[in-house]
Amino acid sequence: MVTGMPLEVDHIIPCRRGGKTTLLNLCLACHRCNEFKGGRIEALDPLTGSSVSLFNPNTQNWQQHFKWSPDEIKIIGITPCGRATVEALQLNNANVVAARRLWAVFGFSSLMH
């Protein structure tokens, strides 16, 4: 697998926090991101130190909260929610960055947009 991680179903709002198993509360996440997220629904914005909600892929627009680095290898948070999500889920961890480098070499980076 090019990403190095299988995808699994994640509860955006975890069951232990009152989240339900409904389509609106489910998304696909790699195992590692899901582990980093754990039971959290919020995290600290590294720029302001404020506690903010994590990104919800079912109700929020990716482009409003994130952008790709110029080399299309790293995800950059551009809002408090985006920055907190990048940090909390460790979206630029070494394994996924290595996979993205391979995607760029083989021309797959355009598929991420």
Per-residue pLDDT tens digits for 32-71: 889 999 999 999 999 999 999 999 999 999 999 999 999 8
Strand-pair partners of 44: 51
Q: pTM here?
A: 0.86
Tally the C-alpha atoms within 13 A of residue 102's C-alpha that lie toward its C-beta. 9
